[in-house]
Every structure is written in C-alpha cells, then in structure tokens.
Homo-oligomer: A and B are copies of this chain.
Amino acid sequence: MSKARKVYESMMENDFCSQWLRINPILIEEGHCILEMEVRKEMLNGFGTLHGGMAYSLADSALAFASNSYGRISPLINGNMSYAKGAKLGDTLRAEAKVISLGNKKADIDVTITCVGHEEPFYFFRGTVYRTSKEHDV
C-alpha cells in the first residue's frame, strides 16, 4: 500500500465527519485525490440546493487527504470557495484535489468539484495548509 493510501486509511478511520457525509475515495495518491459524495436530503439548504457548507466539506476532505499524503500532519489554515452552480438532490459530486504548491512550511491545494452528467464545474475551492513537523503514525 502506498504511503498516501496508508495516511488516508489512518485519517479516515477517525474522520467521523467524512464518514457521516458518506464520502467515497475514488483515487488516493501523493498530492492528488478524488472523492465522491451524493447530495442527500439532509444536505439541502433553504433554497432547495446543496448547502454551501456541504460542498465546502467535500472539498476540505479532499484537500486533507491530498495535502497529508506526504506524511506530515497538515491542518487547514485558510479555505476559499466560489459557487458557480448549485447541486440538487440526488446529484453525485466528484471533487478532485491537487497540491499546486508544496513548500517546507505550507502547501496550497486546488479542488474542483464537478457534478456527474454536467460538463462545467460547480464549485471551485482553494486552500492553504500549515505543514507541521509531526509525521502521521503509519
């Protein structure tokens, strides 16, 4: 098993939130990950579309697995999301995270969320993590 996968398994075991959201791993590799999540009724906002925080949560999980894949514990310090379109009940969202800059103390990660059956992305996320000197125990 790759180190990236080991870190993912170790984190996911305690990541009760990603479990709660029923986030599924499609691809886990160093600096790169793809996750999927289905839009359920309890994720809708008052407008009948996906709550902005749910789209962000999917992106944040993708960021976490991508940025921690190198082995160092790396918490999020800043996240930014742009909302292009609103997902609906039953939609399947796919988040692809890529580490776009890997420094000694921080890393920047880009996450684009598409909706199965639609060509153009729905949500654009960018986040920065602090890279601690502490290693994941894997």
Query: A interface vs B, CB < 8 Å?
Result: 10-20, 41-49, 51-54, 56-61, 64, 68, 73, 75-86, 100-101, 103, 105-106, 108, 110, 120-121, 124, 126, 128, 130
Contact = CB atoms under 8 A, between A and B. Distances in A.
Given A121-B100, A121-B101, A51 B15 contact: yes
Contact of A76 (B52, B73, B79, B120): B52
Tell me which of A56, A60, A64, A130 has the highest count of chain B C-beta atoms within 10 A of its own C-beta: A56
Copies of this chain, count: 4
Given A52-B60, A56-B56, A128 B44 contact: no
A79 B51 contact: no
Nearest to A105: B130
A83 B73 contact: no
Given A16-B44, A56-B79, 5 more contacts: A10-B46, A15-B45, A17-B54, A20-B42, A52-B57
Contacts of A75: 47, 49, 83, 86
B126 A46 contact: no
Contacts of A15: 44-46, 51
A105 B121 CA distance: 17
A54 B51 contact: no
Nearest to A7: B46
